[in-house]
A and B are shown apart, each in its own frame.
Chain A
Amino acid sequence: MTATPAIPASFDEARPRGGLLAGLLSSDMPRSRALSFILIAIVLVLALTPFLFSGSQPLSTAAKICVFIVLVASYDLLLGYSGIVSFAHTMFFGIGGYGIAIGLEKLGADWGSAAIGLVAALCTSAILAIAIGLLSLRVRAIFFSMITLAVASAMAVLASQMSGITGGEDGLSFQLPYALRPAFRPFAEPVFGVMINGRIVAYYLLFFVAMGMFLLMLRIVNSPFGRVLQAIRENEFRAEALGYRVVAYRTAASVISALAATVAGALLALWLRYNGPDTTLSFAIMIDILLMVVIGGMGTMYGAIIGAALFVLAQSYLQVLMEAGSKALAGIPLLPNLIHPDRWLLWLGALFVISVYAFPGGIVGRLRQGKRN
């Protein structure tokens, strides 16, 4: 059995150094013109969504993309950079959501209680991640995957059963601090023709926190610490022989990724003003994250932005397209069923399988390769 490297290494000594942009991106440039263009376009559209589109649907889609960028990037840190497959990522996502929800619901709608909720959630996540990591990262990767799956499902059941605290299956709805409510108006006049309200403030809070988290994670994977993670991914035995404590590094990676996922969960809860098992804890979200990471590109970080944007857009708008196709094919047996709007996941699943075989670097890897040829 030959050990083929699962993911092309992203290490490249010849990268340009210096400059503000390089500093911001931790010298890890997109390294492809097309990729840079797509990334700039996505970020610009996200930044200007409140001014470009009217109505709540585009804003919600954009907010969801921001949340998933953080979530998927944190999962990429684990899967792509450390080579660990965890199925407990939604658990941390859920803990973040519940932290905010329980804080704001029980302690009143102000910033203090949101902060308390977030800090409590971060501590819970860190402790859980350390416990799972130390117990199961010593053994083989498969064990870790299975154990995280079991623990995550137990947590999901627990959350839906402890209805006194978590609201059970119904989840928790709560009030936001005043500055984030739709009634809040910071300016008396419209800005660029748009009346700024609390929703837009909330959106920008999400946007900037998400971008900050993303850049932070980009910094982490390009630090010496991140290099060790990649070394462990490529050859665990050799990394250990070089004197790096593999278990400690892996555990640290899973804690960092868990904390980032917790923040993402908190952001989602703030945006939805609600948190329940289905929005953050369900296994379906875990599958979504996997799809986003792999289709976007494992071990690239930028893949998270592309994967999240593509997936959320597909989730929101591909169904419309498929409905049209399904109607056009009505009358033929089975075919309309296959492109029924509810079957969009079938096609993304197929794309996922093809991605793993044909372009392990996902879309980002493909674009970078295209440049080289």
Chain B
Amino acid sequence: MTDITAETTAPTELPRTKTDWMPLALVPALALLALPFIGSPSAWVTLTVAGLAMGMMIFLMASGLTLVFGLMDIINFGHGVFISLGAYATLLVLGPLAGWGAADSVGLNLALLLLCIVTAMAVTGIVGAVFERVIVRPVYGSHLKQILVTMGGLIVTEQAIHALWGASPIPIRLPETLRGAFVIGDIVMERYRVVAVGIGLLVFLGMQLLLNRTRIGLLIRAGVENPEMVEALGYRIRRLFVSVFVAGSALAGLGGVMWAFYRQTLTAGMGMEVMVLVFIVIIIGGLGSVGGCFVGSILVALVANYVGFLAPKLALISNILVMALVLIWRPQGLFPVARR
């Protein structure tokens, strides 16, 4: 929090920021630590892959929220409704294209999944833009009001989902070839989870590239550090903020699609249910940090899986336990974002 000024004194060549390896090492260390307790390596692989998949899905849902917070200092308690909305948007595709899902072809199935994702992201992106304009913009700067008003937005949007699609849970089917599991020896990996890991990694890498290697990413990171200065240099910071909010909502929609196919049931409250995990993850990662959010998601999911296997009773509070331990170690989260 205090050493921002220390770094600005090197004029010629910026010192390379040191990578903070400790939290990164935490995940493999945890996985290795769990191995002797679980005993059988095949069960360990199954649990680890399942945990990674779960972690990726949580990351997809949480990344937008943490980015929006980091950039705009806005906490969107209504984020969960974008997850639900993304999930329900799959119905727009699954209805007319049911044949693609039933077909026994990997290409068609993946195309269907992709189409679902694109539709969901478009829908949640548009709703996100409206949400930002109507609900969030009047309360910039006041956290108390933000929490209240976004909760209100959550209630209204959730009820609107009920009004549009009905209040009863809707079952959806995974595309045919994504069902079942890969079996290698006695290692069992559900196919869908492998797909989820792939998509999660892709999004994470894409975000890292965008944030660290492009001009827009540079502006976003600069906006996090000092919005007034970016504005003074002639960039419209507001437009940037809005686009990040829209992107964050779209990411929640993407997470919602993945989560919906994982649960295979749609309810309007599904987003809010998973929001608890999302909040834990972004607290663990450090509010505003995408990398921290990634590590936090995997950490929470892995711990939940291992503990669920070893001591099912304890699994219920394992998330809280992880959060408490991390906060004792690093009160601002794994990767504290400067300035805050």
B7-15, B107-115, B153-161, B231-239: which lies at the interface: B153-161
A22 at the interface (CB under 8 A from B): no
By a CB distance below 8 angstroms, the chain A residues around B141 are 1-4
A343 and B163 within 8 A (CB): yes
B132-140, B181-189, B210-218, B240-248: which lies at the interface: B132-140
B276 at the interface (CB under 8 A from A): yes
Interface size on A, residues (CB 8 A): 45
By a CB distance below 8 angstroms, the chain A residues around B283 are 143, 146-147, 150
A153 at the interface (CB under 8 A from B): yes
Q: With A83-B144, A352-B155, A356-B152 known to touch, is A150 a contact of B331 (CB < 8 Å)?
A: no
A157 and B316 within 8 A (CB): yes
Distance in angstroms between the alpha carbons of A94 and B274 in the assembled complex = 22
Q: Residue-by-residue, is A1-40 near B (CB-CB < 8 Å gives 1, otherwise 0)? A: 1111010000000000000000000000000000000000
A294 at the interface (CB under 8 A from B): yes
By a CB distance below 8 angstroms, the chain B residues around A337 are 163-164
A127 at the interface (CB under 8 A from B): no
A346 and B156 within 8 A (CB): yes
CB-nearest residue of chain A relative to B142?
Answer: A6
CB-nearest residue of chain B relative to A360?
Answer: B145
A150 and B280 within 8 A (CB): yes
Partner of B143, one of A141, A290, A353, A360: A141
B287 at the interface (CB under 8 A from A): yes
Distance in angstroms between the alpha carbons of A291 and B156 in the assembled complex = 12
B279 and A150 within 8 A (CB): yes
In the complex, how many angstroms separate the beta carbon of B155 from the nearest chain A beta carbon?
3
Q: With A85-B148, A337-B164, A353-B149 known to touch, is A287 a contact of B155 (CB < 8 Å)?
A: yes
Q: Give A339-373 interface residues, CB cut-off 8 Å to B.
A: 340, 342-343, 345-346, 348-350, 352-353, 356-357, 360
A75 at the interface (CB under 8 A from B): no
B221 at the interface (CB under 8 A from A): no
CB-nearest residue of chain B relative to A233?
Answer: B144
B148 and A356 within 8 A (CB): yes
B272 at the interface (CB under 8 A from A): yes
Distance in angstroms between the alpha carbons of A335 and B272 in the assembled complex = 26
In the complex, how many angstroms separate the beta carbon of A350 from the nearest chain B beta carbon?
6
Partner of B163, one of A6, A135, A140, A334: A334
Distance in angstroms between the alpha carbons of A158 and B314 in the assembled complex = 10
B289 at the interface (CB under 8 A from A): no
By a CB distance below 8 angstroms, the chain B residues around A211 are none
Q: How many of chain B's residues touch chain A, expressed as a range?
A: 35 or more
Partner of A345, one of B149, B159, B331: B159
B152 and A353 within 8 A (CB): yes
B167 at the interface (CB under 8 A from A): yes
B276 and A353 within 8 A (CB): no
By a CB distance below 8 angstroms, the chain B residues around A3 are 141-142
By a CB distance below 8 angstroms, the chain A residues around B266 are none
Q: Residue-by-residue, is B57-73 near A (CB-CB < 8 Å gives 1, otherwise 0)? A: 00000000000000001
Q: With A6-B144, A334-B163, A349-B159 known to touch, is A356 a contact of B280 (CB < 8 Å)?
A: no
B93 at the interface (CB under 8 A from A): no
CB-nearest residue of chain A relative to B278?
Answer: A146
A154 and B316 within 8 A (CB): yes
In the complex, how many angstroms separate the beta carbon of A294 from the nearest chain B beta carbon?
6
Q: Residue-by-residue, is A145-176 near B (CB-CB < 8 Å gives 1, otherwise 0)? A: 11101110110011001000000000000000
B323 and A150 within 8 A (CB): yes
The 9 nearest A-B residue pairs measured at CB: A349-B155, A346-B159, A353-B152, A1-B141, A146-B279, A349-B156, A352-B152, A337-B163, A153-B276
- Partner-A contacts on B (CB < 8 A): 73, 75, 77, 135, 138-145, 147-149, 151-153, 155-156, 159-160, 162-164, 167, 272, 275-276, 279-280, 282-283, 287, 313, 316-317, 319-320, 323-324, 327, 331
- Partner-B contacts on A (CB < 8 A): 1-4, 6, 83, 85, 135, 139-143, 145-147, 149-151, 153-154, 157-158, 161, 283, 287, 290-291, 294, 334, 337-338, 340, 342-343, 345-346, 348-350, 352-353, 356-357, 360
